[in-house]
Structure 1
Amino acid sequence: MSVAELRGCTALVTGGTSGIGLATAQLLTHAGSHVIVSDEDPDRGKLAATRLGSGTRFLPASLADLGDVDFLARQTPIDILIAAAVIADLRLLQGVYFLVAAVAPPMIRRGGGAIINVLPSAPEFSAALRSLTRTWAAEFGPHGIRVNSVAPGPPGTDNALGRTAEPSEIAAAIAFLASPRASCITGTTLSVDGGAAIGRTRQRVARTDRSRWTDPGRVTPNL
């Protein structure tokens, strides 16, 4: 990705002090964005800000606290919102809802922006946030705001690639969706899971006679 594509943008990354959030903040900082990271742990936040460098600000905040959510929304006009904090209960999901509701109007007034939600592992919250992603995309699309989500796969090797995605790989998908290269992508979920949906197919293929791939006379479709 070209550094110039995100240079000068202001991005808010919730949960930006560890894991996927930190990897995303690092990538955006390298791309020249002004990055604000939030987390409820001040010590972890200070360490992350030091690691990310002078172009980054840390704000102690919890999505479970609506006062903190309002505080985050009132920061420097935000061009990119990345909701990467782990959603482990209903209060945190509500926090994302109210944060988007507060950030979207200023985005609309400035002509648009990008919102990317990182789906949690808990299926009920993942389904809810996936549904909200589509709803927000339909509502904000006419105003130039694109809303997408990224679905990291579960840890383990039960997928087509036989490995777990690295945080940096998931961050690359998030940065792509935030960039102008994804200018006509909204309301979708990008799975970064090594092909988890075809994991069973991979296992079935692994049990077949591999010689059919090396013997030209035996190459047949895997039916």
Structure 2
Amino acid sequence: MHSGKHPQQVQLRQSVSAVTCGLLLGTLLIAYLIAGAARAGAETSLAAQDITLNGTVTAPSCTVTLENSHLLFSRSNGAPVIQTLQLTLSQCEVDGIGVMFKAEHWPDNPVRGALLEKQSHARNRHWYYTIGPADEETQTPWPLQLAMDSPATEADKQPAGNGDERYFSLAQVNYWYDLKQPLQDNQVLAIPFNVQLHPDLTRGSDKEQGPLESAFTLQISWR
């Protein structure tokens, strides 16, 4: 850590009129697609998740931007179950990056993000989502390594074919990462996150299959 430098935070908040210094806000939506319109129904493909994140914040020692603003999943067979959300940092003088997610999650399993019924706001028990560091198969490799003083990422407490995958807790745990390579002048650091939709295989089929939605916030810090 550079002497005299304290941890800093930059956050982006999705807003109709402006982007405020603060939080990255993601919205997850599930709805059937019928003739180009999203509404509940018993037809064809399901748009399982729509995440919209927008904005750029410039802070005294770092610029944070979002390279992609939409991630769209479908429940149809053969559809991709993982999408990549990518952040970029530039003009930074940092040794470490802090990552913290906050979202409604399963009470006994904080890596599982809750998806809510749009009408009743009840938690859907058949589907959930996870967020984790990008793996080796991602086009942009994970450029960070977990710092010695950081909490470890977590495994799913109720694994169903997830193997040894590790995820971020959605219960406001701050993970500190060291940069694998120091940032040079005018260099851009790309940080990819895997956002994945999962069915709960311990339960039967989701007979309701109505629209679902959720939201999460991502706070980025540096030191």
Greater strand share, structure number: 2
Instruction: Give the TM-score normalised by structure 1.
Output: 0.28
Return the index of the structure with the highest Cα Rg: 1
Greater helix share, structure number: 1
Query: Larger relative CO (CA 8 A, sep 6+): 1 or 2?
Result: 2
